[in-house]
Structure 1
Amino acid sequence: MTQIFAHRGSAGTHPENTMISFEEAYRAGADGIEIDVQLTKDGKVAVIHDEKLDRTTSGKGYIKDSSMAEIKRLNASHKYTGKYGKTAVPELEEVLDFLRGTNLMCNIELKNGVFLYPGMEEAVIKLVRAYRMEERIIFSSFNHYSLIYCHRLAPEIETAPLYRDGLFMPWIYARAIGAKAMHPSIACAPDPIIETAIKEGIKTRPYTINSEDKMKRLFEIRCSAIITDYPEIAVTLKKNYQ
């Protein structure tokens, strides 16, 4: 049955990539969460989407130029401050600690397309192994060199290339880089591509599925998973297809 991954947590209703957003995804009944990671100036793994602090926090400047302690002092509630109050940018350790008390899967997107962040792969893998989460983690990235490196360092952890342009026979490409899944933009993943990839043994989890019509269609073709900002809506709709 199609799994539901909450994109940056329940990002459509809560501040993205924050603990309250992940907690809401769990409460809503999602099967997993999708998070983004960057490296701070002091080598900590921060859970935040943009390379800059400007859009989602009260700070300014690049993540790579700030320490985790400095970032922690900022408000990451973004447009939801009035509704939920102040919340912080989490470290990956905090998310992994939260996951221990749940049955959630976690897709960790390595945000190393703009800055390569030397040592990021090692740092993330070390934490995942320390928490013994290898079987519940998926690494994804638009930087496919990074995914190959992750696969070499930790072949026991699933990898999935992210892509937003059409690929010819993407299941063959995924297999060629050691991936067991692929995460395409829904714009370049028509039903036949999804269905063939799954038939070929490559799990397919398109992003970002926010319309109910698209959710229904993907449930109907038994897509491996969807990545959505609205896990509660997806969970409710999915009940009609069980």
Structure 2
Amino acid sequence: MKIYAHRGYSGAYPENTMLAFQKAHSAGCDGIELDVQLTKDGEVVIIHDETVDRTTDCTGRVYDYTLEELKTCNAAAHWKDGKTKLTIPTFEEYCAWVASTDLITNIELKTGVIYYPELEAKTLAFVKRYHLEHRVLFSSFNHLSLSAIKKLDAAMPCGALVPETGLVNAGYCAHSFGFEYYHPAYCTVDKAAVDECHRYQVGINVWTVNSMQALEDCYAWGCDGIFTNYPEVCVAYVKAKQ
């Protein structure tokens, strides 16, 4: 079972920052999950929310900032005493770093609220520029974005993200549309759901696994991967079980 650090080591460091990614790597995880959106001037940046309010000292939509303007926001503003200064990373900045590691990257295309023109093509272009084709998978709540990735490169692995309502017959659905993975919330998963996915050769990666009960269940059910804010704990558990 692969351990993906959810927005980096977000349980202990500011989410979706280079610090959180580097700390996740040091914790020994298999991969990193991150979120991409576009700036006003069309640059691919890593941030979860469509607005900057929750994670920075700025306000407003990501899409209303140029990259230069966005770089003035402090992505660590709400961490500890607020004195640490971290910038919102560009996806290219991340790619340049992760290319020197053996990490897998789950790239979530944040197109479910704002459909960013060419986000899929621009993100994939960076993946190829840094020769990461065999160490990435794409996911999105907007499954049309996954279809767009497949249209650009049919070999790119894709995971169908679904909300906490879950999806019955998810393995059949993912297989039917050519998606290699299904990404549900832990609260919607059981062994039968995992087995149904595996019958269709669809992998199942579960979010967000932040309790020992969830970790134990996912391992026992045979899940292919989990997304967690606490990768160090999960890595230690999996190693102990092997």
TM-score range, shorter chain: over 0.9
Kindly report which structure 2 residues correspond to 1:106-185, keeping only aligned pairs within 5 A, or say none: 106-164=105-163, 165-185=165-185
User: Which residue of 1 is the match for residue 45 of structure 2?
Assistant: 46
Distance across 1 between alignment mates of 2:57 and 2:80: 11
Identify the residue that residue 58 of structure 2 maps to in structure 1: 59
TM-score for the superposition, normalised by structure 2: 0.96
Structure 2 distance, partners of 1:81, 1:60, is 20
2-structure distance, mates of 1:65, 1:83? 24
Task: Establish whether residue 225 from structure 1 lines up as the match of residue 225 from structure 2.
Answer: yes
Kindly state the Cα deviation for residue 156 of structure 1 after the two structures are TM-superposed: 1.8
Q: 1:19-60, CA deviations, whole angstroms, 9 ceiling, x for partnerless residues?
A: 000001100000000000110001000100000011101111
C-alpha contact 1:6 1:229 (8 A) present in aligned 2: yes
**Deviation of 1:223 (Å):** 1.2
**What count of residue pairs does the alignment treat as equivalent?**
241
Shift of 1:195: 2.6
Following superposition, the deviation at residue 81 of structure 1 comes to: 4.7
**Normalised TM-score (structure 1):** 0.96
In structure 1, distance between residues paired with 2:237 and 2:83: 26
Structure 1, unmatched stretches of 5+, are none
- Tell me the CA shift for residue 214 of structure 1: 1.2
Summarize deviations over 1:104-146 as a string: whole Å, max 9, x none: 0000000011110111111111111111111111110000111
Matched, 1:189 2:189: yes
Off by >6 Å, runs of 4+ in structure 1: none
Task: Give the whole-Å Cα distance in 2 for the aligned partners of 1:238 and 1:3.
Answer: 9
Q: Partner amino acid for 2:133?
A: E
The 3-state SS of whatever aligns with 1:37 is: strand
Partner Cα separation in structure 1 for residue 187 and residue 225 of structure 2:
16
Superposition deviation, residue 220 in structure 1 = 2.2
Matched with 2:88 is 89
Q: Distance in 1 between matches of 2:83 and 2:142?
A: 34
Tell me, in whole angstroms, the C-alpha distance in 2 between the residues paired with 1:124 and 1:156. Answer: 15
For the residue of structure 1 that corresponds to 2:52, the secondary structure is coil
Partners of 2:125 and 2:48 in 1: how far apart?
Answer: 21
Distance 2:192 2:136 in 1: 27
Change over 3 Å in CA distance of 1:41–1:234 after alignment to 2: same
Q: 1:219–1:241: 8 Å Cα contact kept in structure 2?
A: no
Indicate if the aligned counterparts of 1:17 and 1:49 stay in contact, CA closer than 8 A: yes
Moved more, 147-156 or 215-224: 215-224
